[in-house]
Structure 1
Amino acid sequence: MKRVSLFWLIFALGSGAALLDAADTPVARINHIALYVRDLKTSTDFYQQVLGLQTIPEPFHDGRHTWFLIGPKTHLHIISGATVELPKDKNTHLCFSVAAVEEFIPRLARAGVAYENWAGQASAVTLRADGVKQIYFRDPDGYWLEVNDAKE
């Protein structure tokens, strides 16, 4: 009888731990972000040269896609074929973190890319309440990007 009780105790504790682990694990995680662009080469060059992103193999091999690695098991897909320029609001943006915003800004200058702070002041940096520095700029298709120095 004691063996059966011990078995059920271990089973109950194990099941509870599994439930806790499952509750702490997100149901979904980001896999990729896709941006529809007008000129694949221009956008590919921008993301490689300005942001320093690494391309990864893409399965289509049709000359319309470039895939970049942007995190563990996370990609940015650039897809050519856009013909209409849609309005893009700064509130909708893709953010990348760097070690130091001040060290990143010269990359933008070399590429001729203007940046601004959140309020829209040219060549200015936003300092968040938590001390994180942020800048905002647009890619060749007008998509807003943020670069900050957040450590997490």
Structure 2
Amino acid sequence: MNCFTFNHIALSVKDVDVSVLFYKNVFNLEEIKNTASTSKTRWLKFNDDRQLHLIPRPDSEIKTNKAVHFALATLNFNAFVEHLESLGIDYSDWRNTPKKDYIRNDGIKQIYFQDPDDYWIEVNNDY
């Protein structure tokens, strides 16, 4: 059987410049060269070399719900929550309680918030 590793996630976004700025500010991601094409798709890199590809789709309707999300883990959960607050980004627990984290049955803390295109992002301390 083949072995797989996670490579990247791609998101359709209304304004690629706004989204790049958001992900750089919130997660301190580094922008890297789009080596696949000469399109306006922009690539960002996490510190483990996994990538986020932001594909401009200014005329597309983007529909999301909280069950469709991606999750990132950090050792510095509380510091990250403070960082979100300093940026004025609203977050909630799974049940939509504002400015509250949630502790899962397995003891992992998590919060949810949305990017400029309303994609849901979970950040937890399951590092």
TM-score by length of 1: 0.75
Q: Distance in 1 between the 2:76 and 2:55 partners?
A: 30
Q: In structure 2, what is the equivalent of residue 20 of structure 1?
A: none
Amino acid at match of 1:50: V
How much is the aligned-residue C-alpha RMSD, in angstroms? Answer: 1.7
Q: In structure 1, what is the equivalent of residue 64 of structure 2?
A: 88
- 1:125 matched to 2:125? The reply is no
> May I ask how many residue pairs the two structures share in their alignment?
126
TM-score by length of 2: 0.89
- 1:36 matched to 2:12? The reply is yes
Q: Deviations over 1:55-76 (max 9, x none)?
A: 21112344x2221123645211
Higher helix proportion, which one?
Answer: 1
Q: What secondary structure, in the 3-state scheme, does the structure 1 residue paired with 2:10 have?
A: strand
Q: Distance in 2 between the 1:72 and 1:108 partners?
A: 22
Post-superposition, which runs of at least 4 consecutive aligned residues in structure 1 deviate over 4 A? Answer: none
Q: In structure 1, what is the equivalent of residue 24 of structure 2?
A: 48
Q: Deviations over 1:38-88 (max 9, x none)?
A: 1111100000001111221112344x2221123645211001123233320
Where structure 2 has 5 or more consecutive residues not aligned to the other structure, the ranges are none
Amino acid at match of 1:35: L
Q: Deviations over 1:91-143 (max 9, x none)?
A: 11011111122110122122221000011100000101121110000000000
Q: Percent identity?
A: 33
Where structure 1 has 5 or more consecutive residues not aligned to the other structure, the ranges are 1-22
**Structure having greater relative contact order (Cα 8 Å, sep ≥ 6):** 2
- 1:145 matched to 2:102? The reply is no
